[in-house]
């Protein structure tokens, strides 16, 4: 196979180019800088992602990564047991959610993506089998918290986390009930069903690391989990990540308005977002992690995370309350 730093670029048609190994990937210093990285995706999944990105590019969305074809005409290269893809528009500085200009760029880029992806209607993209409307997700989370309380109070020995959970359960089950009530009073289910029928595309795994900035342009990367869903939910999920930060200088209503000017929200879109943000996602997640038999964190670390959540809750509530005004 030879030197992988020269073999990989050559497989993608870059002659006399030596890739620079970074942490977890290779960079090819071409004019627009190409990134080569390993993937666990099947060849069929990579071809589907390539076709999707081509559809987006043809429709005018230039702020997404672009997969490159190999010398054999495939959007990947197989070397031994490893599969590699090469992407352009996939490098740049990381998004800083503490930077006002960065979060504004994220809102605008996401709005342009949703607007275009909604217009072209990708009905051939499958809906994930585990996709559930928020109404059902909220109900399942509520049932889990209630079951966890019943189980905890039956235990003969109570841990420090149990004490913390039992003490705060009434407050957070109330958040659950209020979020369900607020969501029920919106047109969410109609929006959800229309989104699935019309093929409204979502990235489906948006995090801070899904965005990067290169030469003052914000790009979205890693569309491997792209799926059909209600786009207002995806907007709410990235707002939730921002709202949970300690530094947030932009009122949440202004961020929603920035998105809405480019990609109009449903009639009750703001209320749907408010219901999503009100739901106690973090409390449920931390509780589930603690009581899981396959615990990935130490009990002390989980307790620290819960303590941080409880301490920041009042500030968080005040911030998202801007959506109710």
CATH assignment of the domain containing 298: 3.90.1200.10
Please tell me whether residues 83 and 105 are part of one structural domain: no
User: Residue 69 belongs to what domain range?
Assistant: 4-91
Domain boundary among 26, 59, 91: 91
Cα separation, 159 vs 123, whole angstroms: 50
Q: Three-state DSSP class for 28?
A: strand
**What pLDDT is stored for residue 15 in this prediction?**
86
Looking at the DSSP bridge assignments, the partners of residue 213 are: 93, 218
Please tell me whether residues 275 and 193 are part of one structural domain: yes
Range 290-317 average pLDDT: 89
Please tell me whether residues 132 and 235 are part of one structural domain: yes
**Number of domains observed in the structure of the chain:** 2
Please tell me whether residues 68 and 181 are part of one structural domain: no
Domain boundary among 50, 73, 91: 91
The answer for residues whose C-beta is within 8 angstroms of residue 2's C-beta and 6 or more apart is none
Please tell me whether residues 176 and 55 are part of one structural domain: no
**What pLDDT is stored for residue 122 in this prediction?**
64
Please tell me whether residues 145 and 231 are part of one structural domain: yes
Chain mean pLDDT for the chain: 91
Looking at the DSSP bridge assignments, the partners of residue 85 are: 37
Please tell me whether residues 82 and 169 are part of one structural domain: no
Range 91-102 average pLDDT: 87
Please tell me whether residues 168 and 254 are part of one structural domain: yes
Domain boundary among 65, 91, 117: 91
Range 138-147 average pLDDT: 97
**What pLDDT is stored for residue 2 in this prediction?**
58
Please tell me whether residues 202 and 233 are part of one structural domain: yes
Does residue 240 carry a pLDDT above 60? yes
Cα separation, 322 vs 325, whole angstroms: 6
**What pLDDT is stored for residue 310 in this prediction?**
97
Please tell me whether residues 58 and 76 are part of one structural domain: yes
**What pLDDT is stored for residue 126 in this prediction?**
66
Give the CATH number, domain containing residue 17. Answer: 3.30.200.20
Please tell me whether residues 156 and 65 are part of one structural domain: no
């Amino acid at each position: 196979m030879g030197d992988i730093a020269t073999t990989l670029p050559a497989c993608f048609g870059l002659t006399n180019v030596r890739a620079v190994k970074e942490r977890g990937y290779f960079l090819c210093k071409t004019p627009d800088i190409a990134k080569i990285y390993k993937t666990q995706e099947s060849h069929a999944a990579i071809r589907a992602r390539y076709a999707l990105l081509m559809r987006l590019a043809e429709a005018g969305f230039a702020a997404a990564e672009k997969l490159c074809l190999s010398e054999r005409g495939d959007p990947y290269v197989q070397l031994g047991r490893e599969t590699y893809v090469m992407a352009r528009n996939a490098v740049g500085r990381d998004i800083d959610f503490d930077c006002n200009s960065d979060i504004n760029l994220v809102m605008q880029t996401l709005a342009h993506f949703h607007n275009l992806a909604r217009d072209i209607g990708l009905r051939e993209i499958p809906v994930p089998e585990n996709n559930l409307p928020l109404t059902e997700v909220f109900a399942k989370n509520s049932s889990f918290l209630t079951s966890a309380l019943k189980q905890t109070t039956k235990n003969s020995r109570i841990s420090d986390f149990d004490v913390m959970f039992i003490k705060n359960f009434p407050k957070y089950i109330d958040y659950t009930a209020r979020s369900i009530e607020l969501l029920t009073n919106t047109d969410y289910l109609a929006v959800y069903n229309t989104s699935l029928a019309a093929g409204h595309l979502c990235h489906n795994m948006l995090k801070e690391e899904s965005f990067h900035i290169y030469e003052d342009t914000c790009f979205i990367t890693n569309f491997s989990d792209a799926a059909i869903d209600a786009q207002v939910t995806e907007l709410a999920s990235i707002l939730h990540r921002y709202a949970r930060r300690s530094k947030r200088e932009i009122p949440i209503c202004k961020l929603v308005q920035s998105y809405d000017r480019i990609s109009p929200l449903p009639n009750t879109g703001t209320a749907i977002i408010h219901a999503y943000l009100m739901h106690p996602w973090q409390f449920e997640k931390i509780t589930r992690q603690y009581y899981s038999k396959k615990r990935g964190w130490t009990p002390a670390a989980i307790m620290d995370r819960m303590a941080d959540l409880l301490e920041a809750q009042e500030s968080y509530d005040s911030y998202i309350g801007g959506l109710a005004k």
